[in-house]
Structure 1
Amino acid sequence: MDPEHIPGGAGGAGRRRFLAIATGAATAAGLGSVAGCAGAGEAGSEAALRGKGAGGESPSAPGRAGFDVRAENALPGNADWHVVKAGPDRAIEGFTDKVSVLPGESFGLHVSTTAPRFTVSAYRMGWYGGGRARLVWRSEALPGVRQPEHTVDAATRMVRTRWARTATVDTKGWPEGCYLLRLDAQGGEGQRFVPVTVRSAGTAGRTVIVNAVATWQAYNRWGGYGSYDGPSGAYASRSLSVSFDRPYEYDDGAGLFLVYEAPLIALAERLGIPLAYATTTDVARERRLLEGAAAVLSLGHDEYWSPEQRAHFTAARDAGSNIAVLGANCCFRRIRLEPSELGPDRTLVCYKSSYDQDPGFKRGQPATVDFRSAPGADPESSLLGVIYDGYPVDAPYVVVNPGHWLFEGTGVKAGDGFPHLVGVEYDKVNTGFPTPRPIEILAHSPVVCEGRPSHQDTAYYTVPSGAGVFATGTMRWVEALDATGDGRGGANHGLDARAGALTTRVTENLLRVFAAGPAARTHPAQDNVKAVYGSS
C-alpha cells in the first residue's frame, strides 16, 4: 500500500513481503489416489496437447449451463497434487497466454526450465472428499528449454518476457473450475504451479467464484519488480504497469490462490450449491457475464479493480444478485487493463500516487489511483458497505450481534472473541463515506493500527433490488476456513479451531442463503449503526 494513502498504514514493500510469506506457507491436506492419465503427442518445437479425461469423464458437457458440482466432486481426488520440491530458482516455471478459457478452448503454455524434459499435470481444485484436487489431464514428457532473460521497460519498470510458446493445451473434456497446472522437471529438479481458470459461459442462477487475478499480478515480483517496489525495496522503484506475460514469483508459482481462494472454493464445492467460475478480467470485459447470477463472490484478497469490473458488480447487485466480500481492502485500487503482445487485458496499469504521469490519464482515461482519491473519487464503501481502514493489525474478532441469521448454529454470544481473526488488513463501517442503508454490523472488533485506535466491522446490507451484500471486514476470513489447530503452532497466524469453526459455519449460512436468490426477500437488514457506534 502507498504510505500516503493508508490511514495508519505501513509502506508497500513491507505489506507485499508479508503477503509473500503468508502465501509461501500455504498447505492443504490431500486424499485419494492418482487416476490413470492419457498421453499427448508433440509437433515440432511446440507440443500440441489435447486434453483427455483422467480418472473419469466430466459430469457435464463443455460449456453447458448448470454444471453439476456435486457429480464432479463425487469423482476421486488426488493426494499428490502439491508442489513438494520447488527446486532451485528458475529450475522450471511458466505462464499461460490466457488467464481463462471456456471449456474446450485451447491456451498456450510458455515454460522455461533447465531440465531436458518436463511434464504438465492439470489439477482441478475443489473439495473431492477433502483431497482438494482432481487430476484431469497429464501430458507426456515434453522437451525443456531455457527461455531468454526478461527485460524491464525503462518508462514503467514493467517486466517483459518474450518466451516462445512451449505447448498448446486443449481443454476438451475439462469441466469448469479453477485449475493449477503443475510443471514437473525431469529427474525431480523442480516443480511449479501455473494457474488457469476454465470459466463459465453463463452464470444465471449460480454463485460466481471470481478469481482475483489482477491482485495476484500486482503482488507478483517475478523479475524483481511489482506494483509495490523494485529491487531496491523502495516505493519509488515500483512498476507502474505489470504484465501477465510472466510466471508468479512465490515458491509454488500459484500466486495468491492457495491462501486466499482455495479454502473457500473447497467449502463451496462441498456444499454442492450451483457454481460458476470467472476471473476479475472476465467480469471487466464481459458486460453481461453476471446477468442473473444468484450471488457473486469476491474472495480473500481482491484489491485491484478496473472501473468496468466495479460497474458490472454494481449492476449485478442492482439487478438482485447477492454480493459477498470474503476479505478486506477490496476494490481499493483503480486500474486499467491494456493488451500485451500475447493478447488483450494482459497488462495491468496502476500509477497510484503518480497518476498524473500516466499517458492514459493524459488522454482522458480515469486516474489509476485509489478509488476514494481525487480525481474522480468514488469510495468503495458505496458498493461494499464497509471501507478499508488500515494495515497492519492482529486482533481478536469480537461478536456484537449474535442473534443475526449468519451466526445461526455457531453458539456465539455478545462479546465473544476469536484471537487473530482480524488481520492483517481490515475494514469498518464509516458513515463519513457513502454507506448503503440499512446496514447491520455483526462484529465490531477493537484494533490499534500503528498507535491509532479503531474498529473492524463485519457488515450486511440490503438494497431495493432484493440483493444482500456481506463483507467480512478482515483479510484472514478465507484463510481461517482451514484453521484446525490449537493456535499455538504459528500456522495461519495462530488462528485456532474455534476461528475455523466460526468462519466455516458463517460462510455455509451465507452461501446457502445467497444461492437461494435475492437475500433481502427473506433476510432484510436491520440497521444497527447507531446502537454500535452511538451515532448514525
Structure 2
Amino acid sequence: MRRWIAWSLVALVAVAGCQAGGPAVRPAPSGPTSSTPAHHESSAAATPVDENAKPGTTAWRISDRLLAGPLELAGYADRVSVRSGQSFRLFVTSTAGAFTIRAFRLGWYGGSGARLLWTSPAVPGRPQPAPTVAADRMVSTHWQPSLTVPTTGWPAGAYLLLLRAANGKEKYVPITVRSDSARGAVVIVDAVNTYQAYNQWGGYSLYNGPGNSFATRSHRVSFDRPYDRDGAHFLLQSERPLIQLAEHSGVRLAYLTSVDLATDPAALAGARAMVSLGHDEYWTVAARAAVTKARDAGTNLAFLGANAVYWRVRYEASALGPNRILVGYKDAAADPVKNQPDTTVKWRGKPFPRPENSLTGMLYECFPAAGSFTVRDPGFFLFAGTGAINGSTYPGLTSTEVDRAYPIAGTPRNLQVVAHSPVSCGPTVHTFSDATYYTVPSGAGVFATGSMEWIPALRGPDSKVSLGSPAAAFARKVTLNLIQAMATGPLGRSHPAHANLATLGTSSSTSTGTGGTLG
C-alpha cells in the first residue's frame, strides 16, 4: 500500500497549476559546453599531479542564502557510480523554472577544491509527482528523467553536480566516476550506503519517521530520491577533506563506492590500499568479504572515521535497475530474511555475529563523544614529523563517535594501540577511544583512527569541537604519512605491528560502550 507524503504533496500542488503542461525535456547535450572543455582521457589515465595542475574553481560552493528547499529544486541520478564515458540519467524536480547543471570534480586544484568538467544548456524545469511511501515506509519517486548526462573525458573521481534554477537557487547531486582498475592505486571509497541510510528526504530514513521516531523509521530506503539538506552532506563533511588531501599528495588514486565493492568482486584487485572514509557505517556481506579478501592478498586498509562496519545491509532492485534499494530492518524479527548471513542486524548481533573488530581492529564505542586524542606510542611510524611525544594531547580530535579496542575474540592478536584517549559520551559515560594498527600474513597493514572527527579535522580548526590548529596539523601530517606509505605496498613488510593492548589493562567487558552486546 502506498500513501502520499503530506508535506511534499502540499508544496507540489501549490505550483502544479502554473507549471503543468510545460515544455518537453530538452535532449542531453552531446558533449561539454563549458568554456573549459573536458579532456577525453580514460578514467585511469591522468595522475593526480597532472589532473590537479589544471585550473580549478570555487564556483562549486553553495552559499546558505542560495540553498534551495527540498521541493524547490532537487534531483538524483539513476546510478551511484559510472565509468568514464558511460552516461547516466538525471531526475530533477523544480518549482523555480528552468535550471542548468555544472559538473565539478573534487580535488586539490591549487586549493580551490574542484574543477569544472561540463555545463549543460538550460533544461526546462517542472514539479515532478509527489513521492510515495510504501507499507514499510520506504520513500521513492516515480519521476520522468530530465536529461541524460555524458561523462566522456571525465577522470575518475568524486563529483558534485550543481543544479542552479532560474531564480538562482542551487542544490547538489553527487555522482562517482569509478576507476576502470584499482591496480597499483590507493582506493577511495565513497560511502553511499551511509548517505542513503541517513537520508530523510520525504520524511523517512533508516533512523526516523515522522516526529523523529525510531519506531516509524523506514525498513528500506531508495536511491530513487534526492538526498536531503544540500544534497551532498556526507560527501562534503566526511569525505571531501580527505579527497582534497589525497589528490594533493601526488599518490596514484582510484575511486569506487560501497555499491561497487559489493557488486564487483574484482573491484579491489591489485590495489595498494583501500580508504574507508569518515562515516562508513553500512556494509553488505559481499562488500565485507571483498575487503577482507583484498587485505589478505596484501591490500592495506585505512579506517579514517569511527562506527565503520556496524550495520549489515543488503540491496534490492527498483524500477531503475539493480541495487537501488538499501534494506536495513535493524531487527532480526522484523526482517523477512530469517537466520541468514545477510539478515539486516548489527554485524555484532545474532543470527550470524561477526563483530567489526576482526576487520577494523576495534568496536564502535559511543556517541556523542568529546575528548583529546592522546598519543600512546610516539615512535609509531605514521607519527613521524608530528613532534608528538608520549602523552601528547590534541583536543577535539577525538569527538562525535568513537571506537575502542578490546581484548576479546576477533581482535587481531598483534593489535598495536598507538593512541589511548579518555573521552566522555554524555554526562555519565566515561571511557576511552583508541587509534590502532595491525598487520596480517599477506603483509597488509590496517590503521584505524577511532574517531569520526578525523577527516573533518583535515579542513582546519573547528571551535564547535574545540579543535585547534595543532590538532588539525597533526591529523593532516599523519594522514599524509599514511597515504604515501600505503602507496608503496604492504605496510607490514616494513612496519610490522607490535602487540601492546594487554599493557593498557583494558577489561574484556564492553559495557562502557553504547554499541550493543556481542552475539
**TM-score between both structures, scaled by the size of structure 2:** 0.90
Query: 3-state DSSP class of the match of 1:446?
Result: strand
Q: Match for 1:456: what amino acid?
A: S
CA displacement 1:19-56 (0-9 Å, x = unmatched): xxxxxxxxxxxxxxxxxxxxxxxx95252133427565
CA displacement 1:51-78 (0-9 Å, x = unmatched): 4275656667224x45411111000101
CA displacement 1:101-133 (0-9 Å, x = unmatched): 000000000000012211000000010010001
Q: In structure 2, what is the equivalent of residue 366 of structure 1?
A: 342
1:269 corresponds, among 247, 250, 253, to 247
Q: In structure 2, what is the equivalent of residue 27 of structure 1?
A: none
Q: Match for 2:493: what amino acid?
A: R
Cα distance in 1 between the residues matched to 2:213 and 2:184: 46
1:97 corresponds, among 75, 78, 89, to 78
Q: Match for 1:498: what amino acid?
A: P
Cα distance in 2 between the residues matched to 1:60 and 1:378: 45
1:132 corresponds, among 83, 104, 113, to 113
Q: In structure 1, what is the equivalent of residue 333 of structure 2?
A: 356
Would you say the 8 A contact 1:95–1:194 is kept in 2? yes
Q: In structure 1, what is the equivalent of residue 445 of structure 2?
A: 468
Cα distance in 1 between the residues matched to 2:47 and 2:36: 14
Q: 1:209 aligned to 2:185?
A: no
Say if 1:369 and 1:94 are closer, same or farther in 2 by CA, change over 3 A.
Answer: same
Shift, 1:193, TM fit = 0.3
CA displacement 1:460-518 (0-9 Å, x = unmatched): 0000000000000000000000124xx5x43xx33111111000000011111101000
Would you say the 8 A contact 2:25–2:123 is kept in 1? no
CA displacement 1:145-184 (0-9 Å, x = unmatched): 1001001101x10001001100001101111110000000
Q: In structure 2, what is the equivalent of residue 291 of structure 1?
A: 269
Q: In structure 1, what is the equivalent of residue 27 of structure 2?
A: 47
Would you say the 8 A contact 2:195–2:234 is kept in 1? yes
Q: 1:399 aligned to 2:375?
A: yes
Shift, 1:521, TM fit = 0.7
1:533 corresponds, among 505, 509, 514, to 505
Would you say the 8 A contact 2:407–2:502 is kept in 1? no
Q: 1:152 aligned to 2:133?
A: yes
Map 1:135-534 → 2, pairs under 5 A: 135-154=116-135, 156-188=136-168, 190-250=169-229, 252-353=230-331, 355-361=332-338, 364=340, 366-450=342-426, 451-484=428-461, 487=462, 489-490=463-464, 493-533=465-505
Would you say the 8 A contact 1:66–1:274 is kept in 2? no
Shift, 1:532, TM fit = 2.6
Cα distance in 1 between the residues matched to 2:375 and 2:345: 34
Would you say the 8 A contact 2:371–2:396 is kept in 1? yes
Say if 1:255 and 1:337 are closer, same or farther in 2 by CA, change over 3 A.
Answer: farther
Q: In structure 2, what is the equivalent of residue 117 of structure 1?
A: 98
**TM-score between both structures, scaled by the size of structure 1:** 0.87
Q: In structure 1, what is the equivalent of residue 41 of structure 2?
A: 61
Structure 1: gaps (5+ residues): 1-42
Cα distance in 1 between the residues matched to 2:125 and 2:33: 24
Cα distance in 2 between the residues matched to 1:452 and 1:44: 58
Percent identity between matched residues is: 46
Would you say the 8 A contact 1:338–1:345 is kept in 2? yes
Q: Match for 2:101: what amino acid?
A: V
Would you say the 8 A contact 2:37–2:118 is kept in 1? no
Query: 3-state DSSP class of the match of 1:256?
Result: helix
Would you say the 8 A contact 1:296–1:324 is kept in 2? yes
Say if 1:415 and 1:78 are closer, same or farther in 2 by CA, change over 3 A.
Answer: same
Cα distance in 1 between the residues matched to 2:244 and 2:179: 18
Would you say the 8 A contact 1:126–1:265 is kept in 2? yes
Query: 3-state DSSP class of the match of 1:50?
Result: coil
Query: 3-state DSSP class of the match of 2:29?
Result: strand
Cα distance in 1 between the residues matched to 2:316 and 2:507: 44
Q: Match for 1:150: what amino acid?
A: P
Query: 3-state DSSP class of the match of 1:232?
Result: helix
Would you say the 8 A contact 1:480–1:503 is kept in 2? yes
Would you say the 8 A contact 1:113–1:185 is kept in 2? yes
Cα distance in 1 between the residues matched to 2:285 and 2:120: 39
Say if 1:358 and 1:124 are closer, same or farther in 2 by CA, change over 3 A.
Answer: same
Q: Match for 1:459: what amino acid?
A: T
Query: 3-state DSSP class of the match of 2:338?
Result: helix
Query: 3-state DSSP class of the match of 1:337?
Result: strand
**In angstroms, what is the RMSD of aligned CA positions?**
1.7
Query: 3-state DSSP class of the match of 1:142?
Result: coil
Cα distance in 2 between the residues matched to 1:469 and 1:365: 25
Q: In structure 1, what is the equivalent of residue 6 of structure 2?
A: none
Say if 1:215 and 1:499 are closer, same or farther in 2 by CA, change over 3 A.
Answer: same
Query: 3-state DSSP class of the match of 1:367?
Result: coil
Would you say the 8 A contact 2:131–2:141 is kept in 1? yes
Would you say the 8 A contact 2:373–2:395 is kept in 1? yes
Q: In structure 2, what is the equivalent of residue 10 of structure 1?
A: none
Query: 3-state DSSP class of the match of 1:110?
Result: strand
Cα distance in 2 between the residues matched to 1:365 and 1:534: 30
Q: Match for 2:129: what amino acid?
A: P
Say if 1:58 and 1:275 are closer, same or farther in 2 by CA, change over 3 A.
Answer: farther
Say if 1:444 and 1:138 are closer, same or farther in 2 by CA, change over 3 A.
Answer: same
Would you say the 8 A contact 1:46–1:168 is kept in 2? no
